[in-house]
Amino acid sequence: MSKKKETVKEIFASCCFSSLGLDSTLCDQLRERLGFEAPTKVQAQAIPVILSGRDVLVNAATGTGKTVAYLAPIINHLQSYSPRIDRSSGTFALVLVPTSELCLLVYEILQKLLHRFRWIVPGYVMGGGNRSKEKARLRKGISILVATPGHLLDHLKHTSSFLHTNLRWIIFDEADRILELGFGKEIEEILDILGSRNIASIGEGNEVSNVKRQNLLLSATLNEKVNHLTKISLETPVLIGLDEKKFPEDKSNVHFGSLESDVKEEVEHPNTTLSSSTEDFMLPAKLVQRYVKGIS
């Protein structure tokens, strides 16, 4: 097999976006606006699990397609809400990123994916942005907000018109870099301000119903700081992207269960040390891991 074919086989899954449970218009946007014909393996693993509503920790190398892995399921949910959401409902999803560059990159992808879902409004707040313009945009309402931690915290504290009572998703993209850059304190404060995971949300016919918040953490590396953030932000998360070989050889003391078709094994690892390719990563006690089998 040629090297190029081998690389394609390593990165891409042999399924299509629509088979992962995504709406056909969204699949069209992925193809037409981004040129994505097939999902990467990380996308194929993550999208169905995120659609199911579980908290997820994705540990996969840079460039494996993590951005669309979390954006597509969120857009999928939001576009299906009836009646349609609008600006007045405030922010439903918050994407935290380490840098202004990544903020703009994620925002650009969002703009493309939302081309045919005009009622879902993307926006950003970040360093170097115009604060009063940001305030005005937040006042008008942003459905999916991409933000760097310091600037988000500033708006949470000082922009009273920033409506986030319907917040349903918090995503930590490049969590390792967010923490490396020293935003740990800001993140804890943000989580404190955003409060309870049980949120009131508008349902069909505009009645208010309780919906649980879903948190997602994506990181190319796992270390103690990421472990701490996992503990404080995720509830019994599904782990995606950890190689089977990273699990202990002796699986006699672990429990296997089956979930939906793609989610292959359920493993309980109280305090298991994984030797990751980067640094040792101590899993939080009582964390339920769900190892997701790669689709090849």
Pick one of 7, 8, 32, 63: the residue that binds ligand ATP (CB under 6 A): 63
In 66-148, alpha helices (H): 66-80, 100-113, 131-140
Helix (H) / strand (E) element for 75: namely helix 66-80
Binding residue (CB under 6 A) for ligand ATP from 41, 49, 57, 65: 65
Nearer to ligand ATP, 166 or 221 (CB): 221
- Near ligand ATP in 4-43, by CB under 6 A: 36, 39-40, 43
Closer to ligand ATP by Cβ: residue 64 or 143: 64
In the numeric block, the tokens 């097999």 are attached to 1
State which of residues 174, 176, 186, 265 lies at the interface with ligand ATP (CB under 6 A).
Answer: 174
- Orientation of helix 184-194 relative to helix 149-158, angle to 10°: 40
Using DSSP's 3-state secondary structure scheme, residue 173 falls into coil
The least CB distance from residue 22 to ligand ATP, in Å, is 12
- Identify the CA nearest to 149 among candidates 120, 178, 174: 178
Task: Determine if 226 is a binding residue for ligand ATP (CB under 6 A).
Answer: no
Told to check if 66 binds ligand ATP by CB under 6 A, we report yes
Burial class (CB in 10 A: 0-12, 13-18, 19+), 121: buried
3-state secondary structure of 99: coil
Asked if 67 interacts with ligand ATP (CB under 6 A), we say yes
For ligand ATP, the closer of residues 35 and 205 by Cβ is: 35
- Say whether residue 216 binds ligand ATP (CB under 6 A): no
Phi and psi (nearest 5°) for 169? -135, 135
Task: Tell me: does residue 68 bind ligand ATP (CB under 6 A).
Answer: yes
Return residues touching ligand ATP (CB under 6 A): 36, 39-40, 43, 62-68, 174, 220
